[in-house]
Structure 1
């Protein structure tokens, strides 16, 4: 087997990729800063590793399992270590099979009651919010499109759309292009349903959040983690200001991000080693099960996001009313600040039956959504309004 005589950033980066470790986890195990690992991957052989760090790398190499060792040494051989030639890996861009889950929340208020009463019962999510659901009949969500109606005055459209894409840039462009049409559709659809169920109500859908289940892809190891980072933060591979609408930035940009091990500083990982890779960011969630039978079901992520987006829409309504100098009008006196406090507690407190994967996922989604801060602010606003 190849022996590492001198550790450079290139060999150090390859070892982490061979062990299928994220940048953060690899840095943690080595006892270095994640920025150091990122620098290794970017500058490669231009960096010579310090002797004390080289000793830690030697020790980690000795602890590697046989599969990781074979991958590491095969990568060293392919990189041209013997003749000092540089490695220029051809990173595939696709195809990838993805299931897109879109969430479109709308605050309706007390006008939701007639429509809520006509819908079918639906199990409560982790936030314990009373909800019902009905078909939404979205023209492109052929797998599933449902409207979840919450007694607290919020409706959330959930659209499930499988996609096979040639690149992540293609998926990102579709995502942003479809957002505009989906928002218009959701507004029109909900207004129609409200008119049919009771007095007219003026409601407008204002944003969409996406969660992606990556079912199949050509990436492994560090490339897979970088791809999921891009899925969670799609703006890095798309030109949203293009005169013809959102367009992919191109294969070179996307391939460079994957090869360099792109990491967004605001994305939080919640996967479990050898079981799944999961990432949560402001723009959404990306999830890929490595061991399907042990990984989180996508239904668990969906259930959490439905409650999170409902409470986000509700707290946004409360804070917007306060900023406008008006007292918020809740759909029922039961949904005052004490009710928000209970929802906050249910979402943030760990449960005895909760698995470690569920807990990590919940904490990552709440941290990146910034919902806890908004809920606390909404509680205070309602308390001051004596609601």
Structure 2
């Protein structure tokens, strides 16, 4: 458990940054004047010793922090410590931050309902994925992707898949690009779909609302525990980014990454599916990261992509069903064939082990499903459709 012996403005400011709170948001949470937080963040913040009641309040806030925020808090303090008070240990010197070669896979699903028919006619057939969902594919047109495709599911969903190789000098640089590009990618996906539907004479639909990332770490300077930490940061990137920065998501200082790589970092909600010494793999709420250690025995990235395509299509579909129920409306499926029985079959195919499935495939599938919480959503959507059909 992280304990602060003496709270100064420096520690108080670091805690607010670790919680990703703005100056006003942090002040409101603590019940202090925003000007006080500004002083804490100033160059002489380490000289401001806090009153006992404020220190007790910050102790309680720190105790309630999740492990990710605590790790960020510790790293920020290490990065901001005055040199004369705590010189950098020799072990911290020379830890490489990059470069790393990463292939980013983004998935942007959109529920289209019956409008999906307008896109199916010109699409090519695809091999079924792990969920056994029928789908077709169209070429994409993303301006910043080495490859982009639009997968169209007759159940009413279209999913963009973008492949974007990146060479980065720091993990924070990649994380900041990830969050910044999400904004433009969502706008692009919405405009692209609306344009295709309009050209086919179909009505417009709601826009894209989220992006999920899967990273293949191809090359890096890390090994051992540092490599495992790097894959963890790829899975949970918010630990190296200030998402509340006035200029938009911005990478935290190099010392933050140095601290994480030196001390290690593991998010409790991320689930490992790698198999040493074959691979390192992690699945989390915000994405997946994978690094093959033995290329001839590791999972092909295509296997992760195939699973995520089906998972994201079913997530978008179940979200539509549950949103309609919450709004007091009966869901209208793209075709009567895609009712609760069809969802039950999809749930069974995704969650049941297959005789031909390798241990690595099974671990990957179970980790992705657990962190996405898709099984619970599918069961809820299935029950909602069954009730609305009676």
**TM-score normalised over the length of structure 2:** 0.77
The alpha-carbon deviation at position 88 of structure 1 amounts to 3.8
- What does residue 262 of structure 2 align with? 259
Task: Give a deviation string over 1:45-99, Cα, whole Å, max 9, x none.
Answer: xxxxxxxxxxxxxxxxxxxxxxxxxxxxxxxxxxxxxxxx974453211000000
The aligned runs of 1:114-263 (5 Å cut-off) are 114-141=118-145, 143-263=146-266
The alpha-carbon deviation at position 198 of structure 1 amounts to 2.8
The aligned runs of 1:60-79 (5 Å cut-off) are none
Task: Give a deviation string over 1:94-149, Cα, whole Å, max 9, x none.
Answer: 000000000000000011112112211111100000000011110000x2100000
The aligned runs of 1:91-106 (5 Å cut-off) are 91-106=95-110
- What does residue 350 of structure 2 align with? 347
- The yes-or-no answer on 1:333 pairing with 2:336 is yes
SS in 2 for 1:342: helix
Q: Equivalents in 2 of 1:200, 1:136: separation in Å? A: 20
The unaligned stretches of length 5 or more in structure 2 are 1-66, 75-88
Q: Equivalents in 2 of 1:114, 1:286: separation in Å? A: 34
CA contact (8 A) 2:278 2:297 kept: yes
SS in 1 for 2:207: coil
Task: Could you list the structure 1 runs, at least 4 aligned residues long, displaced by more than 4 angstroms after superposition.
Answer: none
Q: Equivalents in 2 of 1:271, 1:297: separation in Å? A: 12
**TM-score normalised over the length of structure 1:** 0.77
- What does residue 374 of structure 1 align with? 377
How many equivalent pairs are there?
306
The unaligned stretches of length 5 or more in structure 1 are 1-34, 43-84
Q: Equivalents in 1 of 2:95, 2:340: separation in Å? A: 51
CA contact (8 A) 2:92 2:262 kept: no
Q: Name the stretch that deviates more: 362-371 or 113-122.
A: 113-122
CA contact (8 A) 1:187 1:205 kept: yes
Q: Equivalents in 2 of 1:373, 1:189: separation in Å? A: 31
Q: Equivalents in 1 of 2:307, 2:389: separation in Å? A: 29
Q: Equivalents in 2 of 1:182, 1:244: separation in Å? A: 18
Q: Cα RMSD between the aligned structures?
A: 1.7
Q: Equivalents in 1 of 2:313, 2:199: separation in Å? A: 23
The alpha-carbon deviation at position 203 of structure 1 amounts to 2.5
SS in 2 for 1:340: helix
SS in 1 for 2:228: helix
Q: Name the stretch that deviates more: 333-342 or 198-207.
A: 198-207
- What does residue 283 of structure 1 align with? 286
SS in 1 for 2:166: strand
The alpha-carbon deviation at position 197 of structure 1 amounts to 1.8
SS in 1 for 2:307: helix
Q: Equivalents in 2 of 1:303, 1:185: separation in Å? A: 23
SS in 2 for 1:118: coil
Q: Equivalents in 1 of 2:174, 2:313: separation in Å? A: 26
- What does residue 31 of structure 1 align with? none
Q: Equivalents in 2 of 1:151, 1:185: separation in Å? A: 22
CA contact (8 A) 1:191 1:203 kept: no
